[in-house]
Amino acid sequence: MKINILFSALLCGSVALAQERLPLNNLSDFFDQAGNWEIVGDVTANPYVSVYTHQDEEFQKQSKKENRKQKKHLEKTNPIAFTPGTGVLLNNYSFTQKDNLLTQWEHGDIKLEMEVLIPKASNSGIYLQGRYELQIKDSYGVTNPTSSDFGGIHRNWETEPSKAFMGIAPKASPYKAPGSWQTLKIHFQAPRFNDIGEKIANAKFVSVELNGVLIHSNVEVPIPTGGSIASEESATGPLMIQGDHGPMAFKNISYEFIEMNYLPEIQDVANNPNLVQNPGY
């Protein structure tokens, strides 16, 4: 029993570093973007009025007069309101300003927590390493979620069977009404590579909790999902928040890097467990 415990500790070989919080006083943690992302003091969203999203862009094909009329209507009926200040990250989405947001730092294994406010009918996503999307979407009322609902691990759009990934649905649907702040906790494990760069383990969502309910546990993602920054996998990558699908707000974002310790003793112990001495307690 003692040997198994010590051996498990060696295999884990991970050290949690200090938890950091994004202050959200400014956008200095992120790369420049078109201007849709801004820091504000508070955000509210009318839960009964749908926002304008990427799925409604057809009106851009109308005449200029019709476009101006539509724009005035949208401004008048905008269900999102915000106040000046700090502490909240807002994607104030529009058809001309809709960039994704990438951190200037990169991560491998990470624990990530945040609160997110989803306006009615809106859509976004958190991309771990810029490659593996956890869907953020207004899925209120959905009882049998798919991979495209809130908390789903999104599919990619490859048609070749060897490259296709069809996504993974969340195990539960603890969704709150649009306009409510919802809590998301993610423990992500980066893919592993050997000394010559060959992948030896897939990326993994060790756990994902939504509003206190476990919706994923030890789920592997063999290849990047749709909309990723690159098709090639890597040991590290930036955190990306999708900005081109609709408005969204985030606050209380904190993260904890988990540093892997690759101990040379692990393989020896795996081959000969008797090398682990009984510590005598």
Fold exhibited by the domain 17-261: Jelly Rolls (2.60.120)
8 A C-beta contact, residue 111 and residue 256: yes
CA atoms within 13 A on the CB side of 132: 27
Q: Spell out the residues 6+ positions from residue 228 whose beta carbon is closer than 8 angstroms to its own.
A: 127, 130, 131, 132, 133, 156
pLDDT tens-digit profile of 78-112? 799 999 999 999 999 987 899 999 999 999 999 99
3-state secondary structure of 56: helix
Q: What is the mean pLDDT of the chain?
A: 84
**Which residue, chain included where needed, has tokens 């040991």?**
235
Q: Does the pLDDT at position 130 exceed 90?
A: yes
Q: How confident is the model at residue 5 (pLDDT cuts 50, 70, 90)?
A: very low
Q: Does the pLDDT at position 201 exceed 80?
A: yes
Q: Whole-angstrom Cα distance, residue 164 to residue 192?
A: 20
How many angstroms from the chain centroid is the CA of residue 73?
32
Strand ranges inside 202-272, DSSP E: 203-210, 213-221, 237-241, 248-260
Question: Token pair for residue 48?
Answer: 């009964």
pLDDT tens-digit profile of 132-167? 999 999 999 999 999 999 999 998 877 777 777 888
Give the CA-trace dihedral at 6, 12, 18, 21, to 10 degrees: -150
8 A C-beta contact, residue 179 and residue 117: yes
Q: Which helix (H) or strand (E) holds 11?
A: helix 2-12
Q: What sign does the dihedral 154-160-162-163 (CA atoms) show? A: negative
